[in-house]
Amino acid sequence: MFKIGDYIEFSLPGSDGRVHKTEDYKGKVIVLYTYPKDLTPGCTTQACRFRDLTKEFAELNAVILGLNKDDLQSHEKFINKHQLTFPLLSDVNGELLDKLGAKEGSKVYRNTYVIDEEGELEKIYEQVKASENPDEVLAYLKERKA
């Protein structure tokens, strides 16, 4: 399982038709959030709040990536229904979710990981509240920059 300071290596298909790799984001902060299921109430609340704050995250040199075990077709429906402005990554085998400690059996936890500009794990938010987490992470990034 990854711990603070570890390099977070990933290469996963995204809802935008690209394969997303850690090195694609060198020089940017990655806000990688894991969530149980597309199109469910809590996951929708969290995703829509991240969507609403996308510009503020971008101003802090951060990109948002959602991650769960759903396939790209499910992600596409979720994005279209709620006009999400960031990619959702598909980890159908749960390999990255396992390494992050975001999965137990078939259950995926609502966690958020801040990955620094060099690809190293900087901060972990575990089993967060969907409605509060995006604002909490944004506040952390603002404080980090100050």
Report, as residue numbers or ranges, the catalytic residues. 43
Q: Which two tokens stand for residue 92?
A: 């159908």
Q: Strand, helix or coil at 108?
A: strand
Q: Residues in the chain, how many?
A: 146
Q: Which two tokens stand for residue 25?
A: 């984001």
Q: Strand, helix or coil at 129?
A: coil
What's the CA gap between 76 and 141, in Å, rounded?
28
What's the CA gap between 70 and 93, in Å, rounded?
10
CB 64 within 8 A of CB 95: no
